[in-house]
Each structure stands twice: as structure tokens, then as C-alpha cells.
Amino acid sequence: MHDVLKLLKDGEFHSGEALGAILGVSRATVWKRLQHLESDLGLVIHSVRGRGYRLASPISLLDYDALAAGASGLGWSVCLSESLDSTNAEVLRQLSNGVSAPLLVVAETQSSGRGRRGRLWASPFAENLYYSLGLRIEGGAYPLEGLSLSVGLAVLRALREAGCVAVGLKWPNDVLVSGRKIAGVLLELSGDPAGSCQVVIGIGVNANMLPGRADIDQPWTSLRQELGSVVDRTALVLGLSRWLQHYLDVHRDRGFSALRDEWQAVHLWQGREVVLSAGPQQIEGVVLGVDGLGALRLDVAGEERSFSGGELSLRLRNDS
């Protein structure tokens, strides 16, 4: 069915005869096959007598050959799947089975994509980026503190390179445009950080998703909404990978402290009044920035305090 999707991806009408030739079936059988495509992948296909069939909206399919060439230039291996439970989970499975790292896993869709604090990550077919890079770290030689913030800089640079210049960061792992989420970062570790461990850098980017989804519980946007046209997802993966390698190299050699000023310059909530949630505890303060390890610095009632941890959540005060 991939050949059919390559034909239909432009959102234009294509004849039943052309589709039948690809599928190896009669024109009368084409619609039944396309209905299976709709049910399996969640796509909407329109049928108009005398004109043929088209997708309700154009899609951008990932190009394995281009991804493999780009990954090879960085010294990575790459795996592209049509559907996975989670790209992060697949990286961990492959690394545990002895696959060499760095390993990039991308997918056209996920059935169990997730973000921070166990939140569902919407993963419609061929619309967004579902991207995970697996690393092996030996002997605690790689500084893990502040790594998610360094990754956030890579995502920001890739989105700006794609034309979304209004993008900024929110501590610790969100990428926003006009207060709406466009991307996020989720790091997962397996093993002993002081010894031998595996680190998975999971990145989700809203590339071509359009308004109307009821399964997202926060304000969001996408590159397509911001730029007004369908984004080439393969080019986005390649750009993101180049920036990610750059920031990983800096982080490895000099730690997050070398990137601290750059990160604070694009932090959207610098100087803002916020509420930090740490379990049942609510802490109000003014954002001062981050420290050299990526911890959030707050002015709390005139006293500077630092906070870090995966279960922390930050939001603006209502009157901020």
C-alpha cells in the first residue's frame, strides 16, 4: 500500500485505473482496498465519480534512502517503521538486543506515543515527527545534567531553519510558538548513569497536523499552521539530526554550562511570574533563569532557589 500512498500523498485526484494498476486489482475493487487504508491508518480518502480518489489533505511520507544517507554522514544507523508503539521503546528494545549506537528510530505513526509525566502524545499517520535517538554511555563519561535543555536548543534551531522564527523554549522540555506547544523532548535512561547506560532522546514535533483534534488537552500548533504549507518531514528529520549532533558534541565536551546563556536567551518565561508544581506542593516565584546544570532558578519571596527533576511542572501565574 506504500506505493498507493506515494501516489495519493499530493492530495490531488488520481484515477481508479491508476490505483488499480498499482494494487493489481480491478477498478471495482479499488475502493474496498482504500477503505482498508482509511481504517488502518486513520486517513480520510474522498471518492468522486469521474475524477477518482484523493486524500482529504496532502501528506509528507518519510524517505528512507535520504534518512539513511543523512544518518550515515553523522555516524548513526537509522530504522524507519510505518507503525510502532513508541519510537523510544523501540530504541531501547534494539539497543538491548545489541544494535549499535547512535541509533535513530523514526516512524510514520505511533500507537502509544507519550510525553513527560506519562501524557499521551498524539501521533497521526504521516503528519508529525516521531523521532528517537539512542546513545550508549560508558563509565559516566558523558554529562547528563541539563541534556534535555541542550536537546531543546537543537529542536529550536531546526524549527527556525524550517522557517518558524517565532519559536522559543519553556523549561524544562517544551518548545512553544505564541504560547502554544509545537514540540517536546522526553529523555529516558536505562542502566547505571555512573557506569554503563543507554540514553534515549525522544523528540516529537507537530509538523503537518491541522486543528480539530479532540485528544490534545493543551494549546498547540504545528509548522503547517505557522507556515501555511505542508512541511517536508524528511528534510525536517535531516535538519534536526544535524543540529542535534552539533549540540550533543558541545554538551559532551563542555557540559550544559557552555550552552546556558544561549538557552536563557530563547527562554520565553525569563522574568515571568510562575507557579512550580512539585507533587502536591505549589511554589510561586519569578523565573531568574537556569544554572549550569539546567536546574530552574526562581526568586521565591526574595530568596533564590533552584529546582530540578522530571516530575516538576511549570505554568504562568494567572495574573502574570
Q: What is the mean pLDDT of residues 194-222?
A: 87
Question: Of the residues 157, 170, 181, 224, which is catalytic?
Answer: 181
pLDDT band with cut points at 50, 70 and 90 for residue 320: very low
The end-to-end CA distance of the chain, in Å, is 51
Predicted local distance difference test score (pLDDT) of residue 121: 60
User: Does residue 30 sit in the same domain as residue 124?
Assistant: no
Active-site hit among 54, 116, 233, 260? 116
Range of the domain at 17: 2-55
Question: 243 and 172, same structural domain?
Answer: yes
**Domain end point (choices 248, 264, 280):** 264
> What is the total count of domains within the chain?
3
CATH number of the domain residue 152 falls in: 3.30.930.10
Q: Are residues 236 and 296 in the same domain?
A: no
Is 315 among the residues known to form the active site? yes
One domain, residues 78 and 145:
yes
282 with 195, same domain: the answer is no
Are 34 and 139 in a shared domain? no
Contact 150, 137 (CB under 8 A): no
- Note the pTM of the prediction, 2 decimals: 0.92
Q: Is the pLDDT of residue 289 over 90?
A: yes
Q: Is residue 54 annotated as a catalytic residue, yes or no?
A: no
Q: Does 86 count as an annotated binding residue?
A: yes
The response to whether 110 counts as a known ligand-binding position is: yes
92 & 13 share domain? no
* pLDDT at 280 (0 to 100): 86
Annotated catalytic residue within 51, 254, 315, 317: 315
Q: Is the pLDDT of residue 29 over 50?
A: yes
Tell me: is residue 111 an annotated ligand-binding position: no
Look at 216 and 48; give whichever has higher pLDDT.
48
Q: Looking at 47-56, 107-116, 273-282, which range is the least confident one? A: 107-116
Same domain as 70, residue 48: no
Q: Is 222 annotated as a binding residue?
A: no
Residues 290 and 152 occupy one common structural domain: no
Distance CA 136, CA 109 (A): 25
Q: Looking at the structure, do residues 107 and 7 belong to the same domain, yes or no?
A: no
pLDDT above 90: residue 68: yes
Mean pLDDT of 143-155: 96
Q: What are phi and psi of 204, to 5 degrees?
A: -115, 130
- Strand 129-138 and strand 312-316: the pairing is unpaired
24 known ligand binder: no
State yes or no: is 297 an active-site residue: no
